[in-house]
Every structure is written in C-alpha cells, then in structure tokens.
C-alpha cells in the first residue's frame, strides 16, 4: 500500500474509510523508525506505549465520528517542545533526564486534534546550530546521503520526514532552523509570522526570533498543521490577536496569479551563492512565469549586515534565557558541589556543549557594561533597517523569492571547526527572522543528487498566499514527491 509515501490527506482517508486503524498506522511508522533510524539518528525518544494510548483514543473518536481531519495521523515533535510525561532534552546533557509536567501549546493543540505523537526528534543543542551536529545525542544524518548533514537545528525532524519515518514533524525556526533543513532534505518547511503560533512550552533560544512551524512533504500538509497550531494564546504574551482563524484555502485562480509580482533580490544572487543553486532556482522561476506570475528585480541593501546583527541579538538573548539552568531548579546538577559558586560553574560546564557555551559567552560580552551600546543596541538598529528594507520591497512586489541556503547539504564535520562558515549557512534565512516575516522553503530541484530549496517570503500574516504559491508549483512539479532511494521501500 506504500503508506509511507502518502500525504496527510491520503492517510486521513485511509483512517476514515476504516482501511487502516490509527493503532495500525502508528505501529507502521514506529516499525519504520526501528528499521531505519539507526542509519540516521533522527529520533532521541520513541514512546511506543504513549503512542498506542493516543492511537486507541483516536480510533474511538473515529468510530464515534467525533474526529477531526488530523485525528489518528502520526507526528513527531522536535525535542524542544515540552511533552507531558515524555522525555524532553533539547539535545543537551543539561536536560537529558527532564520529563515535563505539561505540554507545550503547539503539542496540546495537535493532541486535541487527535494526532498521535510517535517520538521526539534530534536537534542541535538548545537549537543552536545549522547542521544538527551539536546534539549531546550525536549527529543526525541526511537520508539523501548519510555522510551529509540534514541542516539544523531541526535536522532530526527533517531527516525523519525525508526518510518517511513520520508523515510530518514540528520544528522551530530562530534563524532558518525549519527552512534550511527542509531545503537540505527536499521538504516543505513553513516559518510563520512571529507571534502567529504560541511559543508557550517551547524551550527558548532567542525569544524575539524563535517561531515554531511544520516540516512536511508538501504545502498542503503544512497548511493542515498550521491551521491547527496558529492563533493567540494567553500563555504567550508575544502571540498575536491578528492571526486569522479561518482555514487556509490553497486554491488560487489564474486571474489572481496574473496580479502577483514576485521580487528577486539582487543581493541574494551574488558570488556568495553557488551558481548551480542559482541555476536550479531560475529554472523554477521559469515554471512560475509560465504559470502567469510576474517578476521584478528588487534590492535589500542591508543584506550584508544580517549575520553579525543576528548572532549578536540571538546570542544576547540566549545568554539570558539559559541562565535558568543552574543546577538548582531542574536539569543536570554536578556531584558534591563545594559551595554555591562551584555548583553553578561545574553544572554549566558539564551540562552545556561547546557551541552553547560559545554563544552564551558572545551574548554575555555583548550585553556587558561598556559594550551594550556598541554591540547589542547597534544590532537592534540594524535589525530595524533590515525590517524596513523588506517593508519597502513589499511596496513594489507582493512576494519575494530567495535561495534557502548558499549550498546544498555539506559533509558532516566539514564546518565544525570554522564558525564563520557555519554561520554563513544562514545568510539567506536570518533576515526573515530579524524582520519577523513568514516564509516557506520548497524543493525546486537537485544539484549533484542533493535537494535544492527556494524560499517564498511574504508580508506579515500572508501564510495562506505563500502556501498557495507553493502548492500551485507543486501541482506542476514532482520534486516534493522524491524519496531517498535507501528509504523508498516498506
């Protein structure tokens, strides 16, 4: 039946026609995890007992016709979303034994819709990374080539969906951590407008940048998940009342298409971008032109300031957010501390990995007396300039197309010794987070047998249109249907 190939819509149909029960579907994907994940390390936790309970409940809802469209569909959660009574580690030794007493809002909403949690996915420690190599639980491998990284920090989610170990997964995006792994793994990943999805129960990296969203096979699946998780939450003061509650309609008429102008930022297609990547993207642009979309060159002049501004702001917020891990309230605690200072120092030295320590130090330095104005305040001013660049661009065009990453997936270990090279992996994704805009990465082709992703960037709260544009492209192409050969079997 090739269940692993099917979209959420197709899986929902199997459940509602009683061709397959929710328990059978959950067991099917757990069996795939047990068979294939030793090659990928995409999961940290698989809780078969919890999955079975949720699946049995889903089956009872379907039998009583009290189900939603998502009832009984398996899902994996990135391991920074709190899951009640299920291990939540954030990829760190600091939280290797932490079992939360509550669910994150995003998890709660999907549970209420009847989805079945089959596991928690591996990730860069505390979401700090672009390759999913900094996890305390080991590197994640890319299903398209297991010597390559899957991207980060949501690499476990992307790797699992690409290998069809789960139909869909959640991710978080602070500087590209949904979109870049989606690009490296040939998937569709949606980073929503900042504040459109609650962050309550999501372990924080940089609070003014973090946003959660779906990683899935196609735009339709992303829309179904986003519809369920979006909306204001009184537990999260940064969540926004302006989010539309209506379900996303992916249909778009030819007349509407002809009215849409797409911007191509000249700064994004410079020498920093691999020519093979730009060639694949412009081949996709030609398909969009045939569909009726108009294109126009635009400029985002502050683009070159994005990386330094982003890493100062993100590291500053991380140094503040991670101060709670002190060995007293929860998480790892060193043995036999001599005094309070020794407790703090040894707990944090033992509990945090190298990348996390590095960013805490950068952030603490940027916020220190004498450097606050010179670094942090200046970065905030640059952030406003970057946002203003986008606002000006949207006066001329409706949406923006951009590369997701300057290259395809790179080798494991290739950039771990060069922080600058690693940070530059996010050069095309971080501006969207600094501006708080929505964007999706969609697969548009291959280069040297590795997937290439392209971003569709929109104005605030334009997720529906972004997904419509992605969907119309996916109806004309089959890049989103490609499966890594090694995992394309039962």
Which amino acids are annotated catalytic? Answer: 78, 153, 177
Beta carbons of 294 and 414 less than 8 angstroms apart: no
What is the C-alpha to C-alpha distance for residues 382 and 310, in angstroms, rounded to an integer? 9
Q: For residue 403, which of 300, 292, 289 has the smallest C-alpha distance?
A: 300
Compute how many other C-beta atoms are within 10 angstroms of the C-beta atom of residue 205. 27
HSE (side-chain half, CA atoms, 13 Å) at 281:
27
- Using DSSP's 3-state secondary structure scheme, residue 25 falls into helix
Cα 482 to Cα 101, 175, 418, 444, 487: the distances in Å are 39, 26, 32, 11, 11
Beta carbons of 477 and 287 less than 8 angstroms apart: yes
What is the C-alpha to C-alpha distance for residues 20 and 27, in angstroms, rounded to an integer? 11
- Using DSSP's 3-state secondary structure scheme, residue 476 falls into helix
Cα 179 to Cα 111, 284, 378, 430: the distances in Å are 24, 17, 27, 10
DSSP state of 413: T
């Amino acid at each position: 039946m090739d269940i692993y190939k099917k979209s959420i819509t197709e899986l929902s149909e199997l459940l509602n026609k009683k061709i397959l029960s929710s328990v059978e579907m959950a067991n099917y994907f757990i069996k795939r995890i047990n068979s294939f994940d030793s090659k990928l390390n995409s999961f940290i936790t698989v809780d078969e007992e919890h999955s079975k309970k949720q699946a049995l409940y889903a089956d009872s809802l379907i039998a009583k016709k009290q189900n939603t469209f998502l009832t009984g569909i398996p899902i994996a959660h990135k391991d920074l979303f709190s899951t009640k009574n299920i291990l939540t580690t954030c990829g760190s030794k600091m939280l290797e034994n932490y079992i939360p007493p509550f669910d994150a809002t995003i998890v709660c909403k999907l549970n209420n819709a009847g989805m079945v949690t089959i596991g928690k996915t591996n990730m860069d420690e505390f979401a700090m990374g672009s390759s999913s190599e900094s996890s305390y639980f080991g590197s994640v491998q890319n299903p398209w080539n297991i010597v390559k990284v899957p991207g980060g920090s949501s690499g476990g989610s992307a790797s699992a969906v690409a290998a069809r170990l789960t139909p869909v997964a959640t991710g978080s995006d602070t500087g590209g951590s949904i979109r870049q792994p989606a690009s490296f793994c040939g998937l569709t990943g949606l980073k929503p407008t900042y504040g459109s999805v609650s962050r309550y129960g999501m372990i924080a990296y940089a609070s003014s940048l973090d946003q959660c969203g779906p990683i899935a096979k196609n735009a339709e699946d992303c829309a179904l998940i986003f519809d369920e998780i979006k909306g204001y939450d009184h537990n999260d003061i940064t969540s926004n009342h302006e989010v539309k509650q209506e379900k996303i309609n992916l249909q778009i008429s030819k007349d509407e298409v002809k009215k849409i102008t797409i911007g191509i930022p000249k700064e994004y297609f410079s020498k920093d971008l691999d020519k093979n990547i730009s060639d694949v993207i412009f081949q996709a642009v030609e398909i969009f032109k045939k569909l009726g979309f108009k294109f126009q060159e635009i400029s985002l002049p502050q683009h070159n300031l994005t990386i330094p501004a982003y890493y100062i702001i993100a590291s500053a917020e991380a140094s503040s957010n991670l101060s709670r891990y002190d060995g007293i309230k929860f998480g790892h605690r060193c043995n036999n501390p001599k005094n309070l200072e020794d407790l703090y120092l040894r707990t944090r030295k033992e509990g945090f990995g190298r990348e996390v320590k590095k960013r805490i130090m950068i952030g603490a330095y940027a916020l220190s007396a004498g450097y606050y104005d010179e670094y942090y305040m200046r970065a905030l001013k640059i952030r406003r300039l970057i946002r203003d660049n986008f606002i000006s661009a949207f006066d001329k065009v409706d949406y923006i197309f951009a590369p997701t990453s300057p290259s395809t997936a790179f080798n494991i270990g290739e950039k771990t010794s060069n922080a600058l090279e690693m940070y530059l992996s996010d050069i095309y994704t971080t501006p969207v987070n600094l501006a708080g805009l929505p964007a999706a990465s969609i697969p548009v082709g291959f280069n040297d047998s590795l997937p290439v992703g392209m971003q569709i960037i929109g104005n605030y709260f334009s997720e529906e249109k972004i997904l419509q544009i992605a969907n119309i492209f996916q109806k004309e192409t089959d890049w989103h249907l490609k499966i890594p050969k090694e995992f394309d079997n039962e």
